[in-house]
Structure 1
Amino acid sequence: MLPWLLLLICALLCEPAGIPVSDVNLETRPPGGWVMEGSKLVLVCSVANATGNITYFWYRGALGSNLETKIQHSLTAEFEIVEAKSSDAEQYYCAADNGFGPVLSELVDITVRVPVSRPVLTFGDSGTQAVLGDVVELHCETLRGSPPIFYQFYHENVILGSSSAPSAGGASFNFSVTAEHSGNYFCEASNGQGAQRSEVVTLNLTDLSSVPIEAGSSHLSSGVTEWLLGCLGPIAMALIFCYWLKRKLGRQRDDPLRSPPRPVFQESSYLNSPDPRQLQSVYENVNVVSGEDIYSLVYHTQQEMEPAVAQHMRTHGASEFRGSPVC
């Protein structure tokens, strides 16, 4: 009887004071670890079994940056992030301890979804002015938004086409311009958290067949005028130079200082001269300038001689009176 009593007392003294925590788990609201930017994120830490007061811990990242600590006499506890931001996308876990040592939960990935901002619609390189037959590129892009993003293109509220961007960046849609494509265009962007619509952009079309003929003629006339100026310019300059040279040479010929002297005949004062009109050769040097050339010319004039001189010339020849030309 005594041994059994001793065993009972020992069992009562050796029994632990409570039940340690077990099966620690971390859940999120909204579920799945997906939360929209600006929305509230709740991290719920729970245990399957435990007694007494339980201390809860919440950690961010694999290295365990402590976010919050709470002591509650319950099997669950919550930690709230009032407005989730894109920087809150991370791994989280929690731990629980009631005096027997902490027990950790598994890691949970949190994804913060960023809604799309208002997209911008552009018309590629052609701009908002196009010609019939051109290929126009519509490009729609939103500056913010978590991918994937779905884009739709509209012409006068009618869907032209759609495209998706699995990663960052916009989407494009190409079409060949016809007469029906003038008007207003816009696009929409959505990533499952509401759609955003761009501003309306107007596309204007130009029909080359309607361009006035005078415009083409004007271009042609301008080209012909330029050609004529280029060809006739040198010819006109040459004609002006020739006219100037002709005028200059004419003035030189009319200059009395440059004209050769004319012979002057005088009657002999000797009445008994057998040949009163006999002439004497006289040589003179006259310089004539023509342009840049200078010439030495020899002119010879006849003057009356006395009878005795004329008789002497007939006897001995006129070579005695001739001078040498000067060049």
Structure 2
Amino acid sequence: MSKTTILFFTQLLCGIGHFQTDVTINKIQIESDPETSAQAGSPITLTCSVSIVAAPGLPKNISYLFYKGSQNNFLLNTSMTTEPKYSFTIQSARATHTGYYVCVVKLGNQTATSETYIEVTGQIQRPRLTIQPMKVIEGNEIELRCDAAEEIPPLEFTFYKYKNGKPSLVGQRGTDAKFVTHTLKVTETTDQVYSCKVKGKSLSTTSSYSESVTITVQDPFSSHLFTIEPQSRIFEGDDFVIRCTVQMSSLILSDTKTELTITKGTTMITKSITDEAKISKKATADDTGQYTCHAKWKETLKILEKQVTVAVPVSKPSLRLTAFNSIVAQGDRLQLTCAVVRGSWPIIYTFYKGTPEKYFHQSILNATAGVYIIPSADTADSGEYFCRAENNAGVKHRCERSQNININVKGTKPIRLEYHVPRILSLLVLFLICRYVHVKYRKNKRRKIMTQQNQGSVKENNVVVYSKVKEKAHPNEEEDYINIPSSKGTGTDSECDCEIN
């Protein structure tokens, strides 16, 4: 190759390198019209201008990109032109247009940015809510979509569910898009009405509620029945049938089976994964209680309850007499008790004397015994007594009669030792005390006489001598004066005055 050719290629390569390095972005600036603030609904024009230094004849294709947000959150517009200035217009500004705007210029392998802040006063657009699907069964999920097409992200969306006309929050989410979706599960058939709101992330103002959307929510069980036969009153020995049935909604397409459970109180009796749970038996008194039918599909649970009372006929009553030692004396308290071992309430207790044609007392009680009391028995209360107990615990009225008992009320009260024992004991104790005092007194008296004789204190000629004898049996005793007869006279000892009745 000749030297001329090599020189040509060398100059060509150097020229290319000169093109890549001789294009420089000198200055970039973004401006807005209006400059710092705008009213909602008015247009906002953003203009990005750039100053470029380039060699003559070199191409100058400039890329302009407009973003909302200082972090280039949302791209508003992009364009490429050779002009050193480019404008982009927001036709109808909203409150969410408030914020930083960034212009990015790209030229070759060079990039430059500039930003400005604009505040827009006014209301935020009312969003639009859509829901899919519109027909669901309780326990299924729905998707809510809230749109704010004319607002500028970043935005925050809030979803609400209405209960008795009052909204309650069910979801909240921020996004750099103009819409957001939220999925939730319908837990009750009353979860039918929804709405949403939107606000700018950096704003305190919020839009009004969207128009509410109403969906159709069906119970997964189109029918749920709990039957007990016989339907009216159940008597002991009857054929007793409990049946729990369910029919599922036509909207259910899954293979999930329904679980049916019958319980009595807290005890499970039977369980089934078909459309029926059933119990058949002869009714007994133990079958009385609260029964519950549980129908469960996924997380949906339905409960039906029924009270069962098995009526039991009364047993033969027994008549008992309450009296001391089965002896009834005039003036005694007399109690008659008519009792049954079993029988459904209420029970009618009737007391008779002598003849079954006429009763003297009757009571209707929720109890297994009836009582009649004579506070003070009289001889006229003597006679033959019996009672009857009855209830409606069978196909026919059930009535049972007790045995007969004879009561004889005595006119004179017998002497009862138990009444006199306390008195006898008290008199005996009093007698023993008096006897002890008497013996003690006589001993003291003799001792004093002997002491006086030894001291020569007795006077002669039958003169009565009074001697003062001081003897304290206890520290607090008073001094006693004793009349002592002369040695020539006669005297008698004092006796105890205790009277024993």
TM-score tier by shorter-chain length is 0.3 to 0.5
Structure 2 length-normalised TM:
0.31
Structure 1 length-normalised TM:
0.45
User: Which structure's relative contact order is higher, taking Cα pairs within 8 Å and 6+ residues apart?
Assistant: 1
